[in-house]
Amino acid sequence: MNASAHLPRILLLEDDPVSAAFLSAAIEGMPAKVDVAGTLAEARSIAAAQTHDLWLFDANLPDGLGVDLLAELRAQGRQTRALAHTADARREALDALIDAGFEEVLLKPLSVAQLQGTVRRFCGDVFIEAGAFGRNDTARRCGKQPVWDDDAALRALNGNRAHVDTMRGLFAQELPRVSKRVTAALANRDAAALRSELHKLQASCGFVGAARLGAATRELQEALDLTNVVAQFEGALQDTLASLSG
């Protein structure tokens, strides 16, 4: 059976072209299907023609508010789960979006890991994992993997080199913080925290083509307590950090 038939479908409402490209590319890389609308009118038309597993609506659009579209769709009896995204961090603005019926509000700018983790949570792992980051036993010898696999990154981002560069820039900003959290989880023998961090890291690695670190992350997920696997992961992590700072 074709795994793509089970991919979740998301309606993304975002008027800024750069933000829309980033958000849609991040979600498609999981993988998932994304319908992009730049106005309430476009979103209304798409929602009428297509069933979605999740709505991701910008709070403020050129032709109105995301809360107004949500209210309109709910009045039609549509019960699709809905998230809002906004750059407005004021408490009253966030509370208003929740009160209007959005289940969660994402603050922009978003990291790839945060966005993918949230979509995964609301759509369900069984659908998203169906076609994502398949296991290749011949490629799991981490030391023989290149640090970066540009072809894999380009495939994940529909061949768009500019998107790859943007995603790697965000990855470079986030990886040192991820490294500290993983190191702390290993030191504290906190398996739950470690698995959570590794799950998000593996998704990000696949998305930006961090081949060596992605392979090492898969190995560590399967053997959290093996000293040689931990050492292999730490080496791949340092190789990747060094390549980003070089």
Looking at the fold, whether 107 and 148 belong to one and the same domain comes out as no
pLDDT of 225 reads: 62
Where in the sequence is the domain holding 184, given as residue range(s)? 137-245
Q: Tell me how far apart the alpha carbons of residues 27 and 116 are, in angstroms, rounded to a whole number.
A: 6
Check which CATH number belongs to the domain holding 43 and give it. 3.40.50.2300
Looking at the fold, whether 120 and 8 belong to one and the same domain comes out as yes
Please write the tens of the pLDDT for every residue from 197-213: 888 888 888 878 888 89
Looking at the fold, whether 54 and 168 belong to one and the same domain comes out as no
Residue 31 tokens read as 């993988």
Q: Tell me how far apart the alpha carbons of residues 154 and 230 are, in angstroms, rounded to a whole number.
A: 29
The domain boundary, picked from 76, 111, 128, lies at: 128
In the chain, what is the greatest distance between 2 CA atoms, to the nearest angstrom? 57
Looking at the fold, whether 122 and 145 belong to one and the same domain comes out as no
Report helix, strand or coil for 64. strand
The domain boundary, picked from 105, 128, 151, lies at: 128
Looking at the fold, whether 145 and 221 belong to one and the same domain comes out as yes
pLDDT of 4 reads: 47
The model's pTM is 0.55
Those residues of the chain that have pLDDT short of 50 are 1-4, 125-140
Report helix, strand or coil for 88. coil
Q: Enumerate residues 6+ apart whose C-beta is below 8 A from 156.
A: 29, 206, 207, 208, 209
User: Partners of 11 in the beta sheet?
Assistant: 35, 55
pLDDT of 2 reads: 43
> 201 vs 35, 66, 166, 182, 217, CA distance in Å?
26, 31, 17, 10, 7
pLDDT of 198 reads: 87
Looking at the fold, whether 151 and 211 belong to one and the same domain comes out as yes
> 138 vs 93, 215, 220, CA distance in Å?
50, 11, 16
Looking at the fold, whether 122 and 20 belong to one and the same domain comes out as yes
Q: Which of 123, 160, 204 is nearest to 18 (CA)?
A: 160
> 20 vs 36, 72, 93, 134, 226, CA distance in Å?
7, 23, 22, 27, 42
pLDDT of 226 reads: 63
pLDDT of 54 reads: 95
